């Protein structure tokens, strides 16, 4: 029987004839005309969705890495050993007075859990003593806080100019150095900050590169995690 006769066929299911037509059999009571049109997802949209997903995953990864760095650095201890980096701690009254002055001024500018100040003399040249001061606390944005401290140094020593980032060494965080002017002429000023500590050093008679290398060595000798 040809397809031309499909409309004329009837099937008796025991309850009367059921007519068969060319219209498709509907398995749902929904009106197809009211169904929203499903458009195929374009290639461009797929690329955009993939990029958004990748960015989201990258953000989660960065957040995890940042959280681990905070956890790793937050519990920091700073000591003042008798000797460090070839320098000797100066415990004279004059040196102690200077160290306390620097420590108190530093602690007034930033809320610290513990603060310290120390003067380290250079056995090879008494005019190249290093003034070191800083403290420990939880810092969420170390670089921002370090930049603020360089600005505050202007109240004590005059503006620190040409501040630039230098290698922070194996302890990480951020380290910067610049130059300021004192009674003895220009000298280097360096600072480091991480999520658990911040410190500054003043280096009379030293250029920035020499001061940065010495500051890294001092840091490795005084900082513990």
The predicted-structure confidence for 127-177, as pLDDT tens digits, reads as follows 999 999 999 999 889 999 999 888 887 665 668 999 999 999 999 999 999
pLDDT beneath 70, residues of the chain: 1-66, 68-74, 154-158
- Gap between the Cα atoms of 190 and 212, Å rounded: 7
For 135, half-sphere exposure in the C-beta direction (CA atoms, 13 angstrom radius) is 22
Q: Is domain 77-224 annotated with CATH 3.30.1460?
A: no
Q: What is the pTM (predicted TM-score) of this model?
A: 0.68
Q: Are 99 and 133 in contact (CB under 8 A)?
A: yes
Residue 149's pLDDT is what?
Answer: 87
Exposed e or buried b for every residue in 176-193, given b needs 16+ CB within 10 A?
bbbbbeeeeeebbbbbbb
Residue 41's pLDDT is what?
Answer: 54
Tell me the three state secondary structure of residue 168: coil
Q: What is the CA radius of gyration of the chain?
A: 36
Residue 202's pLDDT is what?
Answer: 95
């Amino acid at each position: 029987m040809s397809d031309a006769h499909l409309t004329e066929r009837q099937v008796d299911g025991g309850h009367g004839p059921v007519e068969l037509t060319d219209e498709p059999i509907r398995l749902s009571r929904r009106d197809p005309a009211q169904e929203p049109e499903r458009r195929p997802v374009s290639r461009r949209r797929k690329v955009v969705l993939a990029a958004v997903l990748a960015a989201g995953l990258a953000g989660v990864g960065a957040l995890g890495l940042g959280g681990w760095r905070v956890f790793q650095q937050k519990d920091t201890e700073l000591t003042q050993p008798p000797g460090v980096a070839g320098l000797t701690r100066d415990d004279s009254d004059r040196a102690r007075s200077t160290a306390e002055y620097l420590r108190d001024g530093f602690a007034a500018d930033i809320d610290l859990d513990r603060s310290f100040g120390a003067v380290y003399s250079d056995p090879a040249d008494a005019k190249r003593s290093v003034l070191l001061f800083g403290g420990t606390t939880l810092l969420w944005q170390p670089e921002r806080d370090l930049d603020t401290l360089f600005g505050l140094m202007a109240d004590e020593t005059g503006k620190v100019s040409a501040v630039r980032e230098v290698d922070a060494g194996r302890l990480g965080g951020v380290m910067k150095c610049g130059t300021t002017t004192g009674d003895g002429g220009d000298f280097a000023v360096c600072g480091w900050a991480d999520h658990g500590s911040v410190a500054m050093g003043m280096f009379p008679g030293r250029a920035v590169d020499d001061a940065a290398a010495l500051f890294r060595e001092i840091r490795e000798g005084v900082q513990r995690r």
